[in-house]
Amino acid sequence: MEDVEIARKTKLKKINEIAKNLGINEDEIECYGRYKAKIPQEVYEKNKNRKDGKLILVTAINPTPLGEGKTTISIGLADAISRIGKKAVVTLREPSLGPVFGIKGGATGGGYAQVAPMEDINLHFNGDIHAITSANNLLSAMIDNHIYHGNELDIKTVSWKRCVDLNDRQLRVVDTGLSKEKKIVPRTDGFDISVASEIMAIFCLAEDLSDLKRRISNIIIGYNSKNEPITVKMLKAEEALTILLKDAFNPNLVQTLEHTPAIIHGGPFANIAHGCNSIAATKLSLKLSDYVVTEAGFGADLGAEKFLDIKCRKLEKVPDVIVCVATIKALKYHGGMPKEDIEKEDIESLKRGMHNLLKHIDNLKNKFGIQTIVAINRYNHDTEKEINYMQEVLSKENIEMSLVESWGKGSDGAIDLANKVVDLSNKQSNFKYAYELDNSIKAKIEKVCQNIYGAQSIEFSEKAIKDMEMIDKLGYNNLPICIAKTQYSFSDDPKNLECKEPFSINIKELVLRAGAEFIVVMAGNIMTMPGLPKVPAAENMKICLLYTSDAADDLTRV
């Protein structure tokens, strides 16, 4: 049975019932239909003095085209923690339309471990990403309008880009202002995908609306003829942008197929941004439940590192346990096994691919010092010999492991993982950051590249060196770094899966995000506007109308 069929056959509870399970009254939520709601800031203020629950971070090995099921594991784990009698919430990122219509085709879990209503969450949801896109592009319009009407601020270079929440490689570089009107100045510009926008990063790192406005006002949109930064505050745009985001800033409440509360909010990618859901949603979840299961995007080298080094500094809390998701077929792929043979038993490929998993575990358990467990997302073609080999290797390394089958069995398939996570959450961690904020920018980059990625050396372009000097001169050298690189490898080469030979990380440029309060470090040939694959998921989608007697309106389903 496919994910869509499973989701449609599940009877959801009305959202006020889900809210009630969290101790939220019906009149305290803003309903978006029967199965979705927003939770206003007042609910957090009402509960802010309550003790925080345990924080469980789900991450993974470097992803492959085969899919590892990180979101499915996250949802299944939250359902299983609820199943064993604990109060749990799963707190996730919102899907971007780019990958929904591109490769992934959705990001709400799978099988019997899904969040619902899955079509709404995967599409426009409650309009959050549209609001972010609109705020980003209003700022672009106000920049160009200011230049058109005399350029009082002496804007010489514009670094701010427009954005759209779709994969569209044609928009990576565009010429704008070609109407030949008298005062319009043409320039070469470009688009980012919305989830790479600094507005998205700010949205996810702001603590409240006041902090959101403060950060927006600090965005640097370009530089004047003296190479001095021009900010949103100088354009008097921060109030308008915050107004566009005020409703979107409230976290979204939905449910899993087993009716575990799910709070979904914000959606930056981890390869080009910091890859974590919003601070507001995580802080709220910690006050409303005993166990919060959240995830960080892509592999642990990207999402988990940024969760720990960027988000946790603002959250002022670190995970009690980290779950690292892997599949046997993905490990064989990392070990050089061809995709078409991946279902065949092959201990040698698995042995080579284990290097990827063990490096991630070493980072999480030893470099960051957090209690860590491996969750193997089990497939029918995994053999007992392969499973036994993994258990033997991980046991020798003193690493906990759990076989998870939440896709096919829901919470039943993750009970073992839930019990082990609860036990681990009561053990002491010895957390440490990968770098300190008072390290130089160069030292921060070196520590992540060498200690977390395992690079032998780091090569800085001339532009990257000049960017570092400028950021240092402007006084922003004490910010955390957000390295943008391929998700498929520890290296900056997406084809270097095994990383068995010494490799170098190539730093091409640095981008100051003064509003988000981090420095983006561009490594390798990373793009901030993805493209569609040869056969995008959009080609295989179909629409049908469901007419139901108890519905107020006809429901459109994809």
DSSP character for 96? P
pLDDT band at 545 (very low <50, low <70, confident <90, very high): low
Give yes or no for residue 185 having a pLDDT over 90: no
Give yes or no for residue 159 having a pLDDT over 80: yes
pTM for the structure as a whole: 0.94
33 CB-contact burial (10 Å; exposed 0-12 / middle 13-18 / buried 19+) = middle
How far apart, in Å, do the first and last CA atoms of the chain sit? 16
Give yes or no for residue 474 having a pLDDT over 70: yes
Q: For residue range 347-357, list pLDDT tens digits in order.
A: 999 999 999 99
Q: What is the pLDDT of residue 463?
A: 97
Give yes or no for residue 49 having a pLDDT over 70: yes
Give yes or no for residue 556 having a pLDDT over 50: no
Coil, strand, or helix at residue 2?
coil
- As given in the structure block, the two tokens for residue 272 are 């080009």
SS (H, E, C) 348-365: HHHHHHHHHHHHHHHHHH
Q: What is the pLDDT of residue 135?
A: 98
Please list, in sequence order, all residues whose beta carbon lies within 8 angstroms of the beta carbon of residue 549, skipping any fewer than 6 positions away: none
CB atoms within 10 A of CB 534: 5
Backbone φ, ψ for residue 191 (5° rounding): -115, 145
* Mean pLDDT for the stretch of residues 465-474: 97
% of the chain surpassing 70 pLDDT: 97
- Token pair 């030893």: residue: 366
Backbone φ, ψ for residue 31 (5° rounding): -75, 135
Give yes or no for residue 270 having a pLDDT over 80: yes
**Residue among 322, 296, 295 at smallest CA distance from 400:** 322
Angle at 168 between CA 165 and CA 169, to 5 degrees: 135
Q: Angle at which helices 209-217 and 238-245 pack, to 10 degrees?
A: 140
Give yes or no for residue 142 having a pLDDT over 60: yes
pLDDT band at 24 (very low <50, low <70, confident <90, very high): very high
Give yes or no for residue 101 having a pLDDT over 70: yes
Amino acid letter, residue 476: Y
Q: What is the pLDDT of residue 63?
A: 94
Backbone φ, ψ for residue 319 (5° rounding): -60, 145
Q: For residue range 314-335, list pLDDT tens digits in order.
A: 999 999 999 999 999 999 999 9
% of the chain surpassing 90 pLDDT: 90
Mean pLDDT of the chain: 94
CA distance 400 to 269: 29
Give yes or no for residue 551 having a pLDDT over 80: no
* Range scoring the smallest mean pLDDT among 196-205, 212-221, 504-513, 545-554: 545-554
pLDDT band at 523 (very low <50, low <70, confident <90, very high): very high
